[in-house]
A and B are shown apart, each in its own frame.
Chain A
């Protein structure tokens, strides 16, 4: 088999890989920051906070990412006059912005669900002890619940990061030249689909398992003082 086309395209594919990693990293970071307040709102005793958080999580977890992406990228065009008036239309014109915005909103919903479960798993006794010491509200969250919940949610969060990495391949559909996007362009020019898609697939595979390996190490280190912690990996289905 002639693999010249693969070697020739490798530099461009790696350039695409950089964009893939960049979009994944940005969305993960922003998504995590959004997920923490959303998860807290979801567990709030106040309906005003709980119901919107529930609705947001249900919508973004219950609909395909592709629809969300089109809704933001193409759908925003329907509100162009309004968005122009507010002065943000220049952002929605950019596929890059739409991609990161959608992926952020999407991963935040999944992450909030993971955090919700972890927050509920924080032992009651610890929360009660903190309350009896007079801690409440944000202080209780900051000192007791969140640190524990973050550690508990690490295995599931690793899965989420892996799924998000793979989900970023959809941004190629709204014209971005990520790893998948570059592969598709080269296929359109050379008509060598299987060689390029297999190569792109292998690159994703390497990134995925490198990441899983590293985060398992991290988990083991963080839970060294705890016995019988569940191991990480991409076993659970939390994809979109």
Chain B
């Protein structure tokens, strides 16, 4: 077994790991919000909402994350500046990398969460919703009492997958200069001229996140499935 001598840069990787987890959690929260909104759009009686939700999931899943990150971080501020210049205003926008990263990753994985929630909603037996309606429950009440409590359970495995992919995608934010795990490893690798050592150490930390997430996901699913019959 090779030993990993981190030359005193271990703390930096550790801080990067913390930052990565923070970005991941914030982006996941946003992705769930976008996902619920997207799923609502897909089942909406309004054509515009359905069209917009369809466009959202189609575009986001067909374009690489890297392009979307570059587009949000470099493209959006320039676009706004150009638009402002067009109307004779002078505008200067600098997106903070943390915000840009969280928004982009949240937006991308919101599209995947949309599909997860859509599937979860479809998995709820129609009869239950009709029964609730027959009892005179309104739309909001049906969603709160019948749809949401079951939808979460159906959505959990899918959301777990989204999280696993999302946390790996946060590595791309290093490209817009956010000091998360990947960039910390990059800085340490350059300073020490030991690229393999540091990228390997970083990869083990990512692997650790993935393995812990897998275990936690199993626990949560078991907890959410208590009281439901199998088969």
Contact = CB atoms under 8 A, between A and B. Distances in A.
Interface string A156-168: 0000000000111
B48 interface: no
A9 to B, nearest CB: 15
Interface string B162-181: 10010011111011000000
Which interface residue of B66, B172, B194 has the most chain A CB atoms within 10 A? B66
Contact of A194 (B61, B78, B169, B196): B78
A59 B207 contact: yes
A204 to B, nearest CB: 5
Nearest to A168: B64
Given A58-B207, A169-B67, A201-B71, A209 B200 contact: no
B171 A64 contact: yes
A77 B196 CA distance: 8
B62 A209 contact: yes
Contact of B64 (A70, A74, A169): A169
B146 interface: no
Contacts of A66: 171-172, 174, 182
B221 interface: no
B78 A191 contact: yes
B203 A63 contact: yes
A58 B169 CA distance: 17
A63 B20 CA distance: 13
A183 interface: yes
B29 interface: no
B217 interface: no
B43 to A, nearest CB: 16
A77 B195 contact: yes
Nearest to B118: A235
Interface in A172-212: 172-173, 180, 183-184, 187, 191-194, 197-198, 200-201, 204-205, 208-209
Given A71-B200, A201-B63, A193 B165 contact: no
Interface residues of A, number: 48
Contact of B202 (A67, A78, A170, A237): A67
A173 B115 CA distance: 30
B199 interface: yes
Interface in A62-114: 62-68, 70-71, 74-79
Contacts of A76: 196
Contacts of A168: 64
A212 to B, nearest CB: 9
B62 A71 contact: no
Given A63-B203, A67-B203, A194-B78, A75 B195 contact: yes
Complex A-B, nearest 8 residue pairs according to Cβ-Cβ distance, in ascending order: A194-B75, A75-B196, A62-B210, A169-B64, A64-B171, A74-B195, A193-B74, A78-B196
22 contacts: A58-B211, A62-B206, A64-B203, A70-B186, A74-B189, A75-B199, A78-B197, A180-B66, A194-B76, A194-B79, A197-B70, A197-B74, A198-B75, A204-B63, A205-B59, A205-B62, A205-B63, A208-B61, A237-B116, A239-B165, A240-B165, A240-B168
Interface of A: 58-59, 61-68, 70-71, 74-79, 166-170, 172-173, 180, 183-184, 187, 191-194, 197-198, 200-201, 204-205, 208-209, 234-240
